[in-house]
Amino acid sequence: MKTRAILTHRFSTPLGRMLVCTSDNSVCLLEFDERKNLDIECQDLQKRLKAAFVTGKNHLTKQTQQQILEYFAGTRTHFNLPLMTWGTAFQNDAWQSLQKIPYGQTRSYQEQASAIERPTAVRAVASANSHNRIAIVIPCHRVIGKNGSLTGYAGGLERKRWLLAHEKDNVQKKRATHNL
């Protein structure tokens, strides 16, 4: 019997090394190497997919790396990668709503909860966001506290601050270019 594989590839970004995992022609994990509990996420992924990790590259790991590096270069604002998310229906609703937050903008957890028609589920939304396993592409870094504070980013608040500033700067540069 052939064992299912999870292909893993690490690459460098301006904010540190990232790990991309693919299986069944989908990205199933994209995280910073130093992410808290990354080892637990990987064990969970292996168990859920009943698969073994194999180091290597394919078209999808290369495409993911290219799109992430384009994001960091400021030339990509949207991603078109096939994603495999696993979670409850509520978590998947929360993750889909994250993907609707425009590049360079933020939403509060309250606004995200309202967007999925669960306005009283603010804490559940925050919990769902913390279980997002596909960093940047599913942009949980765009969610902030109701008072505008930076809260809860598994990649670290310094990375969250950098990502938000990066997007805001790129939006301002594009506006300035269009106004010339």
* Catalytic residue (choose from 21, 28, 42, 140): 140
Q: What is the dihedral of CA 18, 159, 156, 149, to 10 degrees?
A: -150
140 in catalytic set:
yes
Report yes or no: 27 and 59 within 8 Å, Cβ to Cβ.
Answer: no
Integer Cα distance of 163 and 104 in angstroms:
9
Integer Cα distance of 21 and 3 in angstroms:
16
**At which residue do the structure tokens 């078209």 appear?**
59
List active site positions: 140
